[in-house]
Amino acid sequence: MVGAGVAGLVTALCLAQDGRKVLVIDRQGVGEGESLRTTAHLASALDDRYYNLARWHGADGARLAAASHAAAIDWIEHLVADVDGQCGFRRVPGYLYSHDGDTSRLQKELDAATDAGLDVTYLEAGIPDLPKLGPALRFERQARVDMDSYMATLASQCDALGVTFLKADVEQVEGGTAPRATLAGGAVINASAVVVATNVPFHERVAIHTKVAPYRTYVVAGPVRDGALPDALLWDDGDPYHYTRLVESRDGTGTLVVIGGEDHKTGQDDDTTAFVRLQSWARENLPGVESFTHGWSGQIIEPADGLAFIGADPGGEDNVFVVTGDSGNGVTHGTLGGLLLTDLIMGRGNPWADLYDPDRKMVRSPGGWLRENANVALQYRDWVGGGDVDDVEALAPGEGAVLRRGIHRVAAYRTGEGEVRTFSARCPHLGCAVRWSPQEKSWDCPCHGSRFDGQTGAVLNGPASSPLEPMVLPPRMARDDD
């Protein structure tokens, strides 16, 4: 197993329950990737909307999608039932409301979600205690969980069943009759199957990356007045949309509200105001919210047709499996991914296998798929453009920028102490030019979402598996001024 996030740990636990010997390898440790950044809305009310899912996957596919996410929530509920505090798991309703007063989309979703088997009703008077938000759909049997407790429970149950954990970098994965993972330094781990559960696969360069698109999402949290907001999952239907839930504070002194949104494509349209915009939106729309104590961001991998890719590696050999494309429903997609992969590895049939097959074609959702791939192709034009600044002298401490030097683009960063560090701006994945993210202080690739530490160039997010290459800043030439 490569990756110790939700999908990796659920797969490891289920395989261990089936008597398989499992090794989990992660370069950072349990939950240190994207899993602990999610706000853990456990929703079968999927945010790509059932009227789209029915169009892309057929009525049966939409029903299977609803059933599989509901099954993931049930599985989590069962897992945490005997844990002290139940990992903060609560069954709560989910409310979907219009962001602009147009309720026609709600009506459409009501019909489609009902057809898909969800228990959903239309509330003309709106959400109880929040009539200001307008009419809403109420979905039953949604849930929330505290991710750190859920991840710790998964890890301890894996441990109890003899799953081994190894902190290491996996550089290569091979399948066939003798599957194996090669670690940095050359050590080889042989296995009967290898699962790549690393948010996005790092081992294959193209196949899956043409069907997913990376986005950054932002989250703020702060105390909320008791009783001001319902204990529910709230979603508006904007694009990008806002998502809200409550969480008990760790010191037991009150309740926090957690609000997310302001998504943008990774490496594109980055600015420094996402957190401020989220805070303003919260003050304007939600009663009882005044101050904010936390803020973070996360990576979302959007599949072109709304559902994750879980199953045999489409670009590789036998006995290599992938799980990717969380689509903003990472906890349920990761959990159901673990259940599905276990069946596939154990040679059992599973009714969800075709729906989530990574090799499926984008026949019914060609528009979004073509748009995302055209967008990727456009990003390569950076190589013929100018730099962000002409010289490193323009960089203030803590700032980065891309400079043009002849045929090179150079990613330059000035540390707090004034030292300037320079790297090739060429993304090691497929050669797009990285861009500076002033908000995240990182180098972000606008093509497939790899991210690199601003100071060191180390990989923060795949699919790149190696860091930005350090480079000496070449001398300036006349044409660099073009």
> Shortest distance, CB of residue 446 to ligand FES, whole angstroms?
8
**Could you identify the residue written with the tokens 């019914």?**
364
Phi, psi of 360 (to 5 degrees): -65, 155
The answer to whether the beta carbons of residues 51 and 109 sit under 8 Å apart is: yes
- Nearest-Å Rg of the Cα atoms of the chain is 23
Tokens standing for residue 473? 């800043």
Segment near ligand FES (CB under 6 A), from 188-196, 293-301, 359-367, 430-438? 430-438
Q: CA-CA distance, 76 to 13, in Å (whole number)?
A: 12
Query: Which C-beta is closer to ligand FES: that of 179 or that of 449?
Result: 449
Contact call for residue 437 and ligand FES (CB under 6 A): no
Q: In what order do the strands lie in the sheet with 451-453?
A: 435-437, 442-444, 451-453, 459-461
Q: Choose, by CB under 6 A, the member of 191, 427, 459, 460 that binds ligand FES.
A: 427
Phi, psi of 213 (to 5 degrees): -135, 135
Q: CA-CA distance, 416 to 411, in Å (whole number)?
A: 17
Q: CA-CA distance, 53 to 58, in Å (whole number)?
A: 7
Q: Choose, by CB under 6 A, the member of 65, 320, 432, 468 that binds ligand FES.
A: 432
Query: Which C-beta is closer to ligand FES: that of 203 or that of 429?
Result: 429
Query: Which C-beta is closer to ligand FES: that of 42 or that of 447?
Result: 447
Other Cβ atoms less than 10 A from the Cβ of 269: the count is 10
> Shortest distance, CB of residue 380 to ligand FES, whole angstroms?
9
Query: Which C-beta is closer to ligand FES: that of 109 or that of 382?
Result: 382
Query: Which C-beta is closer to ligand FES: that of 316 or that of 449?
Result: 449
Query: Which C-beta is closer to ligand FES: that of 304 or that of 432?
Result: 432
Contact code string over 443-482 relative to ligand FES, x by CB under 6 A: --x-xxxx------------xx------------------
> Shortest distance, CB of residue 200 to ligand FES, whole angstroms?
9
The answer to whether the beta carbons of residues 94 and 139 sit under 8 Å apart is: yes
> Shortest distance, CB of residue 272 to ligand FES, whole angstroms?
23
Contact call for residue 430 and ligand FES (CB under 6 A): yes
Strands 180-183 vs 212-223: parallel, antiparallel or unpaired: unpaired
> Shortest distance, CB of residue 379 to ligand FES, whole angstroms?
8
Residue 165 neighbours by CB under 8 Å, 6+ apart: 4, 23, 24, 25, 26, 30, 155, 158, 159
Segment near ligand FES (CB under 6 A), from 11-19, 22-30, 351-359, 422-430? 422-430
CA distances from 422 to 50, 62, 397 (A): 47, 49, 14
Q: In what order do the strands lie in the sheet with 180-183?
A: 170-174, 180-183, 188-190
- Residues 79-108 binding ligand FES (CB under 6 A) are none
Number of residues that bind ligand FES (CB under 6 A): 12
Query: Which C-beta is closer to ligand FES: that of 173 or that of 427?
Result: 427
CA distances from 431 to 107, 249, 447, 469, 480 (A): 45, 44, 9, 12, 20
Query: Which C-beta is closer to ligand FES: that of 455 or that of 466?
Result: 466
Segment near ligand FES (CB under 6 A), from 226-234, 279-287, 348-356, 429-437? 429-437
> Shortest distance, CB of residue 86 to ligand FES, whole angstroms?
39
Contact call for residue 429 and ligand FES (CB under 6 A): yes
Contact call for residue 301 and ligand FES (CB under 6 A): no
| Interface with ligand FES (CB under 6 A) | 427, 429-432, 445, 447-450, 463-464
